[in-house]
Amino acid sequence: MTSKFAVIPFTIAAAALAALAWPMLSATPANAEQARNLPRAAIDAAAGKGTQTAVLAGGCFWGMEAVFEQMKGVRSVTSGYAGGTADTATYGQVSSERTGHAEAIRIDFDPALVSYGTLLRVFFAVAHDPTQLNRQGPDTGPSYRSAIFPQNTEQAKIAQAYIAQLGRVRAFPKPIVTRIETGRFYPAEPFHQDFFRRNPNHPYILRWDKPKVAAFKAGFPALAR
């Protein structure tokens, strides 16, 4: 099930529909623009060379993509689907909640400028809420689950250690439900790529994702572009 409001171009018809739902969409939570104050990862990767890849799932990929595109050291972000198979990696099929995929993003980053542990810190602090099980905000279903897809054994070790670290310090009032998973990543349809940048006035973007990006910039000024 999806609540992205309109996964079609924001046309006049969509605008009319948006007007009917605008009171709900504009009721921004009081803490929507505040990043959580989380500790740095105690176990992290050493600075490296070249380009490395991280795959993270935390609800609608539009907002996840938008946050990490603002981050120094990130070279590119791609929206897509992780954890299922190639033949069902389409938005229509994933939205049926029967394919096993999670909406996810692939982050290509420079490990000399930003570490994997730092990516995880932002992932947990502002990109999504890791205490929501099989949902994120208005979107419900396992495709909106919180999950990390490590690309190697070192990333798996860092992810597991950071989740445990956050649990020990009780960083959240509820248990973290983020799963460590395996599975390939499949890019989403072109319509979904750079959705935040291309559709700044889309109701979903205004209600859920602009506050998230603002929270990142306010909470992590040294990491923001």
CB 108 within 8 A of CB 75: yes
Separation of alpha carbons 137 and 144, rounded Å: 9
Separation of alpha carbons 19 and 197, rounded Å: 22
Q: Which is the catalytic residue, given 60, 119, 125, 163?
A: 60
Q: Is 60 one of the catalytic residues? A: yes
Cβ count near 48 (within 10 Å):
12
Separation of alpha carbons 157 and 166, rounded Å: 14
CB 42 within 8 A of CB 165: yes
Query: 3-class SS at 210?
Result: helix
Query: 3-class SS at 156?
Result: helix
CA-to-CA separations, 184 to 81, 83, 107, in angstroms, rounded: 8, 6, 14
Token pair belonging to 174: 């509820």
DSSP structure class, residue 8: S
Catalytic center residues: 60
